[in-house]
Amino acid sequence: MKNGKIGFGVIGVGRIGKVHIENLVNQLPGADVLMIADVFAAELNKIAKKYRISSADTDYKKVLDNPDIDAIAICSSTDTHYQILLDAAAAGKHIFCEKPIDLSIEKITKVIEAVEKAGVKLMVGFNRRFDPNFRKIHDLVVAGKIGDPHVLNITSRDPGPPPEEYVRKSGGIFLDMTIHDFDMARFQVGSEVTEVYAKATVLVDPMFEKAGDWDTTITVLTFENGAIGTIDNSRRAIYGYDQRVEVFGPKGMVNVTNNKPDNHLYFNNTGIHMSLPLNFFMERYTESYLNEMTAFLECIKKDTPSPVDGKDGLMSVVIGLAAMKSAKEKRPVKISEVY
């Protein structure tokens, strides 16, 4: 840490990597991005130049070798996470890792062990926890405003399906899309999931069936504290990105709906009309990405526990695997059956 600034390296400069670089360079004076890495040299150099980052390498190990670097963000493809995580822990770097850590429970467990042994921070990029809407209702729940949660309802629909090649390697809807909602569920209810029932179907595009996946699902969760909940997902909402959460308890209920680009009302002779929700996660969750990186820097500086740790990264995958098993076997599945 030089001049009180955290030396930072970013590995992977694709879509999400750029978001973090932008925030780290332009919005977060507490960090100093010293180095970036990506296997695609052209894009890497473009980004380095744009953000005046002095060092860039196609080999991420160079980032880990840099003694001025205190922390890294892993923004490369999921299949590369495992090795980078082990290497980074061994190099003593604090680690921010995009979700999911990995799709294998065994590997995630090893990562958690490595990180603990190395004594470095590991934060998983469940950015939605840092969205002002979801954070607000979380805080109200934690403050006891609704009492112990009884029922959770999450609606989470993407504006449109990803390309088929993405679907084929995504791990399936539960591990690619619902995984965010599983994390949100644990975050809001404040208790572990013990059982999952998932009803999954293909209504949007037969491509999903061909890829061995589903596009429309309902998941029922049971929590350790007795709460129950639903998640409904669709790969395509024609009206845009639909992200809503509601938590109900004996003392009240909290919910949040979608953000819109403006709040205008237009009244004419056919009705009252409003703008559609913000279209996708880059617009919808802008603030959350900045807030999560702020939280990561803070936990390093203050040496406090990671706000979204390895266990959080693990449990969302565990629930996803249980959901997939449930959808295939058409029966409720206990978490203890998969982990």
Shortest separation between residue 149's beta carbon and a second copy, angstroms: 9
Number of residues that bind a second copy (CB under 8 A): 69
Q: Tokens for 272?
A: 């009252």
Out of 1, 86, 207, 253, the residue judged to bind a second copy by CB under 8 A = 253
Out of 58, 83, 275, 304, the residue judged to bind a second copy by CB under 8 A = 275
Out of 181, 242, 292, 312, the residue judged to bind a second copy by CB under 8 A = 242
273 binds a second copy (CB under 8 A): yes
293, 297, 311, 337 from 136: Cα distances, Å:
18, 21, 23, 34
For a second copy, the closer of residues 97 and 198 by Cβ is 198
For a second copy, the closer of residues 90 and 203 by Cβ is 203
272 binds a second copy (CB under 8 A): yes
Shortest separation between residue 256's beta carbon and a second copy, angstroms: 5
Out of 2, 26, 210, 305, the residue judged to bind a second copy by CB under 8 A = 26
207 binds a second copy (CB under 8 A): no
Out of 229, 310, 313, 320, the residue judged to bind a second copy by CB under 8 A = 229
Out of 42, 165, 265, 336, the residue judged to bind a second copy by CB under 8 A = 265
Q: Which stretch binds a second copy (CB under 8 A): 9-17, 31-39, 98-106, 251-259?
A: 251-259
Helices 310-329 and 178-189 cross at an angle (nearest 10°) of 120
Shortest separation between residue 203's beta carbon and a second copy, angstroms: 5
- The partner residues of 37 in beta bridges, in order of sequence, read 11, 57
Out of 2, 15, 117, 136, the residue judged to bind a second copy by CB under 8 A = 136
Shortest separation between residue 78's beta carbon and a second copy, angstroms: 28
Q: Which of 20, 47, 105 is nearest to 335 (CA)?
A: 105
Give me the residues that bind a second copy (CB under 8 A), please.
26-27, 29, 50, 132-133, 135-137, 140, 145-146, 150-151, 153, 155, 157, 197, 199, 201, 203-204, 216-218, 220, 222, 226-230, 232, 234, 236-239, 242, 248, 250-259, 261-276, 330-332
